[in-house]
Amino acid sequence: MSTTTPTGSSTRPVSPLHPYAGRFPVHGTMPETGVAREEILDELRQMSSEEDAKGDSGRVSGSIYSGDHDHYHFLTEAYGYYAHSNVLQRDMYPSATKMEAEIIAMTADMLHGDVSPDGDVGGLVTSGGTESLVTAMLTYREWGRNVKGIDRPQIIMPVTAHPGHDKGMHYFGIEAIKAPVTKDFVVDLDFVREHIGPNTVALVGSAGTYPHGIIDPIPELGQLAIEHNLGLHVDGCLGGFIIPWAEDLGYPLPPFDLRVPGVTSISADTHKYGYALKGSSVLLFRPKALRRQQYLLIDGWPGGNYASPSMGGSRSGGLIAATWASMLHLGKAGYRAIAADIFRTADEIKGAVRTHPELSLIGDSLFNVAFRATPGDSALDIYHVNDALADRGWRMNALQLPPALHFCVTRPNTQPGITAAFAHDLAEAVEYAKNPPTAMPRSGAVYGAGGRMPPQRDALQATIADRLDSLHEVGPLD
């Protein structure tokens, strides 16, 4: 692959991860003399406007949740008032307490919790879904040790639960027990019940799952948690700010939130369907005393008594201000109206999938439409469908086990004409997949990336690790 300079002269081939090499300077060292502000801002303007165009087109699954640049400008203005502030210093920035507490209270209200002085729900604002999940896993490890005397804790989670749970368990020495899913792609309750043992500290369910947008049977998991005195974390990082509006809009929805007995924590990402800036999320605890299990309190340090309420130490107040501003500005009516558009759009996409007998929906999510090739002797390779959609400008999320695609519907996808264009291009993609030019499709299932990976596990892991290295290295130097 090659690129050209703004004047049109040819440059050497560049990596897809470094498309600006040869077009803009590559900084392998800090410049001796500072670069002019306008030059820096112009470079940022060019890169961001070109990159935003794909998401703004409405042909991207997930990733960009708002797409409203007026909303972004409003949030950026709110961020600017506190971008420089360190909310660790609450004596200097007590406004952070107001805003952070109100974010938690508004989220808890949406998820049917009570954070009033007499209520028993507490929470944290985190840097994103992964921190919320990692913090929840740490909390249950500490609760298991401190309350139940369990030194080698286990947590049972569905195979469809987000790998952020695995990350937390890897970090904190918790054994993950992976429960299979049923033919309906929800957690197998019989497996969960049979594998609860003396070292189990918590269960996990999703609302909805990242792969398929499906809600696990949370009431049944809650009952198991109550019967065995366990924690139950509900991962609503993806769905937590979109599915709560379904009931108001007349869509049937199984109970999943703090109304369900046995639910002891739930996460919901404000930077997804909360339409805040990236990286913010909310983690709620019930009872709120559970939150204290992950506090870190150290006395006797020469620097003073140390008390940390969450993973982060120094944090910018800008994200807190922007998240608070987004929630207040949209209000329930705003969130409800956006949800109605997203649910309608998802219904239209599901309708397009159903017109093809070669394709089958996985579940019936209100916002995250997953589909695979209909099993059979003449089944298509769904990744060929993905290739053809990509050639037509669509960026789907590829899944595995089973091979599938999902279209996670966000605000840009609700623009007029988008679903009609998708239906047209999906029909062409299905025809392409019936007789592809090569047996091996170009795409595969890699979270957050594209491209087929080697089938052997060792080669796969090495290739992924190489890619992660590349994400942290500068492009070719002049």
Residue 85: is its pLDDT beyond 60? Answer: yes
Instruction: Confirm whether 68 is domain-assigned.
Output: no
> Are the CB atoms for 216 and 206 separated by under 8 Å?
yes
Of 353, 351, 347, 411, which Cα lies nearest the Cα of 57? 411
Instruction: Confirm whether 423 is domain-assigned.
Output: yes
Residue 79 or 5, more confident: 79
- Domain hosting 340: range is 331-462
pLDDT at 174: 98
348 and 313 fall within a common domain: no
Residue 116 or 206, more confident: 206
pLDDT at 475: 63
336 and 299 fall within a common domain: no
313 and 343 fall within a common domain: no
Handedness of CA 338, 341, 343, 349 (dihedral sign): negative
159 and 307 fall within a common domain: yes
The mean pLDDT of 318-328, rounded to a whole number, is 97
Residue 173: is its pLDDT beyond 50? Answer: yes
Instruction: Confirm whether 19 is domain-assigned.
Output: no
335 and 369 fall within a common domain: yes
Residue 314: is its pLDDT beyond 90? Answer: no
* pLDDT confidence band for 17 (50 / 70 / 90): confident
232-241, 298-307, 418-427: least confident range: 298-307
Handedness of CA 326, 331, 334, 336 (dihedral sign): positive
Residue 38: is its pLDDT beyond 80? Answer: yes
Q: Residue 339 and residue 243: Cα distance in Å, rounded?
A: 8
Instruction: Confirm whether 240 is domain-assigned.
Output: yes
Residue 96: is its pLDDT beyond 60? Answer: yes
Instruction: Confirm whether 284 is domain-assigned.
Output: yes
Q: Residue 236 and residue 100: Cα distance in Å, rounded?
A: 19
316 and 351 fall within a common domain: no
Mean of pLDDT over the chain: 91
pLDDT at 104: 96
Q: Which residues are CB-contacts of 38 (< 8 A; sequence separation ≥ 6)?
A: none
Q: Which residues are CB-contacts of 331 (< 8 A; sequence separation ≥ 6)?
A: none
284 and 138 fall within a common domain: yes
> Are the CB atoms for 427 and 356 separated by under 8 Å?
yes
pLDDT at 455: 54
Length of the chain: 478
374 and 243 fall within a common domain: no
pLDDT at 114: 82
> Are the CB atoms for 25 and 474 separated by under 8 Å?
no
Of the residues 294, 311, 327, the one at which a domain ends = 327
Of the residues 327, 352, 369, the one at which a domain ends = 327
Q: How many domains does the chain have?
A: 2
230 and 307 fall within a common domain: yes
In one-letter notation, the amino acid at residue 192 is V
Predicted TM-score (pTM) of the model is: 0.90
Of the residues 310, 327, 344, the one at which a domain ends = 327
pLDDT over 90, % of the chain: 79
Which letter does DSSP use for residue 180 in this model?
P
245 and 377 fall within a common domain: no
